[in-house]
Amino acid sequence: MANNILRNYEQQFGVICADITNKISVSVSSSTKSESISTIESLFDDATEIIEQMELEIRDANSSKKRTQEQQDKYLNIINSYKSELAKLKSEFNRQVKNKSSKSNLNEIELNENNHEDSELFELKQKNKENVQKMNNNLENGYRMVLESEETGKTILSDLFGQREQMQRSRDRLREVNMNLGKSSRVVGAMTRKALQNKLILIGLCAFLILTVVFVLYLVIKKRFN
């Protein structure tokens, strides 16, 4: 969502910069110089406001999405290039205003256009278009990097969730094995006690048999001597 807003701001800024360049060129020979100055100044205010909105949007996006320092620096470079381009346009506009006659009203622009100025304005316009295109490419690259980062984050979260489920299943199996071991231990204990009881019984029987044999021998011997 934040990236769509930034792209919209970037397009608005490009349109305003192109409009400013065109109006600076037209205002040289315009008969409504005061209106041209007012319009251009208003466009500068709009461009400045767009840059401020983009700074706020980028700051909010960086805070909420926790972008890396590299991504933050990239967006800040884009904003700085916007500011630099706007400063160049303001400088050109002020230069045109200062070239008017000292007797003219400050709200009027009186410029005598010549071939050299036409060439400068044309070059400025072309440079502005190139810079806008470059800034658009930078923003597109930044947007692509953000999407790639989001996909990477989703993949990592998915892997972590899968590992968590696997660990949970392992704990369940370990708990089940412990329960089975407990049952086995109780069964072995019972069998051991049973075997001990049987052993005692067997010992008792053997002792009884031995005593019986001894008693019988005693009776036989006693009877013979009598």
178-194 pLDDT, tens digit each: 888 888 888 888 888 88
**Taking the model in full, what pTM does it have?**
0.43
- Statement: residue 103 has pLDDT above 80: no
Given pLDDT bands bounded at 50, 70 and 90, which one contains residue 115? low
Which has more confidence, 147 or 66?
A: 147
Residues 158-162 have a mean pLDDT of 84
Q: What is the pLDDT, as a whole number, of residue 102?
A: 43
pLDDT at 28: 53
Res. 66: pLDDT tops 60 = no
Mean predicted confidence (pLDDT) in 173-178: 86
- Rg over alpha carbons for the chain, rounded to the nearest Å, is 47
Task: Work out the angle between the directed axes of helices 115-225 and 69-98 (0-180°, nearest 10).
Answer: 170
43 vs 143, which has greater pLDDT? Answer: 43
Asked whether the predicted pLDDT for residue 118 surpasses 60, the reply is: yes
Mean pLDDT of the region 2-23? 83
Exposed, middle or buried: residue 89 (CB in 10 Å: 0-12, 13-18, 19+)? buried
Confidence at residue 69, expressed as pLDDT on a 0 to 100 scale = 65
> What's the pLDDT score for residue 99?
67
Q: Which domains does the chain have, with CATH numbers?
A: 2-168 (1.20.58.400)
Let me know: does 128 contact 15? Beta carbons within 8 Å: no
Q: How many CA atoms lie within 13 A of 174 on its CB side?
A: 6
Predicted local distance difference test score (pLDDT) of residue 101: 40
Q: Are 106 and 185 in contact (CB under 8 A)?
A: no
Confidence of residue 107 (pLDDT cuts 50, 70, 90): very low
Check whether 29 has a pLDDT greater than 70: no
